[in-house]
Amino acid sequence: MPDSILDDISHRRYNQLRGSWVLVSPHRTKRPWQGQQESPTKTTLPAYDPSCYLCPGNKRAQGDINPKYEKTFVFVNDYSAVKDEQEEYKPENKDGSLASRLLRAESVTGKCYVITFSPSHNLTLADLDVAHIVPIINTWTHLYTAHLSPSSPLAKLNKAVINGGHDESISKPNAQYRYMQIFENKGSAMGCSNPHPHGQVWTTTSLPEEPSMELEQLKKYRCEHGGANLLEEYAQLESTKKERVVFENDSFLALCPWWAVWPFEVMIVSKKHKRALVDFDDKEREELAEAIAEVTRRYDNLFETQFPYSMGLHQAPLEGTDEEIEASHFHIHFYPPLLRSATVRKFLVGYEMLAEPQRDITPEQAAARLRDCAGPLYRKALN
């Protein structure tokens, strides 16, 4: 069946990275919308806000004073989701009872950080050029390196990152953590509590479910295909086909995945097998910064608004087996909720919560629209 038919019929697509399916219903884009609409964002933020907890020199919620930082700034989250020290938990029921079988819990410790992207209160990733995104990537890499297990094959690389940001809070942890999740929630629609552009880093003694599912699929593919890497081969395929590619440079591919759930979901994937941030050289970090700039700028240009999203890096665990480390492949997920305009968003409810995810616009249509949004950031022409 010709692939073009899929633009008009309902069908399911398999997500090789999660081992799951998504229902695609392209004909539903024609339905009228009388539901909830989000308020369009208005860019009226100042470069500095004296009441902002994240601006340089300001007092944070619990009284600490931010330094007069000039690039990125890292500090331990004042309201961390996990703590590095807490009372030890030992399940009491080990007698084979019904409660011990069904009511399971385990202790999780870790450390959470906040990273401001720049001193400016009003500059998002879409506003920053490559030279100003590189320090953010360097800071991510410095954090990852500081928490990497000495027994990991990646620790042997010993690639020290220079020219990072203000990172007095980056120190060796009290315990060896299993995983580090680096992410950003942009916009109030995604639950962002402070408009100063920033990201978060959560490290935990457990391997979270999403990266765990992906890692199992990556290991399975490697085992079944003679050591081949799933995402490296997928990047090669998409680079050849082009129809879902949004942006491409020598090192990275930005595309709307075949299996995307969110309307304008994008994945940035390394073309070569790179396990984690520490695998990149200076040129690759610069090209990663270029890919991030291209994706976020096109997002804002699409509906001429501050485009909300959740973005996160998936890479090798901080501690893991050689098989887990070698099967890992660096990539970044962008999950944006907007569907038809700056005010109409996608909801994962009903069938999507109870059965399986569903999308209307196809990834090919989404990629074509994002390709057309290249060029300068729209709001720079308004100044």
pLDDT value for 31: 53
Using CA atoms in the order 333, 335, 340, 345, what is the torsion angle rounded to 10 degrees?
A: 180
- The answer to whether the annotation marks 210 as part of a ligand binding site is no
Res 36 pLDDT > 80:
no
- The answer to whether the annotation marks 331 as part of a ligand binding site is yes
Q: Which residues are catalytic?
A: 198
* Confidence band, pLDDT 50/70/90 cuts, at residue 368: very high
Residue 336 half-sphere exposure, CB side, CA atoms within 13 Å? 29
Kindly provide the b/e burial profile for residues 151-185, where b requires at least 16 CB atoms within 10 angstroms of the residue's own CB.
ebebeeeeeebeebbbbeebeeeeebbbbbbbebb
- The answer to whether the annotation marks 78 as part of a ligand binding site is yes
How large is the average pLDDT for residues 340-347? Answer: 77
Measured CA to CA, the distance from residue 112 to residue 109 in angstroms comes to 10
Task: Write the pLDDT tens digit of every residue in 92-101.
Answer: 767 778 888 8
Q: Is the pTM of this model over 0.75?
A: yes
Res 239 pLDDT > 60:
yes
Q: Structure tokens of 19?
A: 């081992």
- Three-state SS letters, the chain: CCHHHHHCCCEEEEECCCCEEEEECHHHHHCCCCCCCCCCCCCCCCCCCCCCCCCCCCECCCCCECCCCCCCEEEECCCCCCCCCCCCCCCCCCCCCHHHHHCCCCCCCEEEEEEECCCCCCCCCCCCCHHHHHHHHHHHHHHHHHHCCCCCHHHHHCCCCCCCCECCCCCCCCCCCCEEEEEEEECHHHCCCCCCCEEEEEEECCCCHHHHHHHHHHHHHHHHCCCCCHHHHHHHHHHHHCCCEEEECCCEEEECCCCCCCCCCEEEEECCCCCCHHHCCHHHHHHHHHHHHHHHHHHHHHHCCCCCEEEEEECCCCCCCHHHHHHCCCEEEEECCECCCCCCECCCCCHHHHCCCEECCCHHHHHHHHHCCCCCCHHHHCC
**What is the average pLDDT value for the chain, to the nearest integer?**
90
Specify the pairing of strand 331-335 against strand 252-255.
Answer: unpaired
- The answer to whether the annotation marks 29 as part of a ligand binding site is yes
- The answer to whether the annotation marks 371 as part of a ligand binding site is no
How large is the average pLDDT for residues 284-308? Answer: 95
pLDDT value for 253: 98
* Topology at the third CATH level for domain 47-84+106-381: HIT family, subunit A (3.30.428)
Give whole-number Cα distances, 245 to 147, 257, 331, 368, in Å.
34, 9, 15, 8
- The answer to whether the annotation marks 132 as part of a ligand binding site is no
Neighbours of 96 (CB within 10 A): 7
* Confidence band, pLDDT 50/70/90 cuts, at residue 131: very high
Res 118 pLDDT > 90:
yes
Using a 10 angstrom Cβ sphere, with 0-12 exposed, 13-18 middle and 19 or more buried, the burial of residue 248 is middle
pLDDT value for 99: 85
- The answer to whether the annotation marks 219 as part of a ligand binding site is no
* Confidence band, pLDDT 50/70/90 cuts, at residue 1: very low
- The answer to whether the annotation marks 31 as part of a ligand binding site is yes
Give whole-number Cα distances, 349 to 13, 75, 82, 181, 358, in Å.
19, 36, 28, 26, 10
Measured CA to CA, the distance from residue 314 to residue 174 in angstroms comes to 23
Residues 309/299, Cβ–Cβ less than 8 Å: yes
Q: Amino acid identity, residue 371?
A: R
Q: Where are the domains of the chain?
A: 47-84+106-381
Q: Amino acid identity, residue 326?
A: E
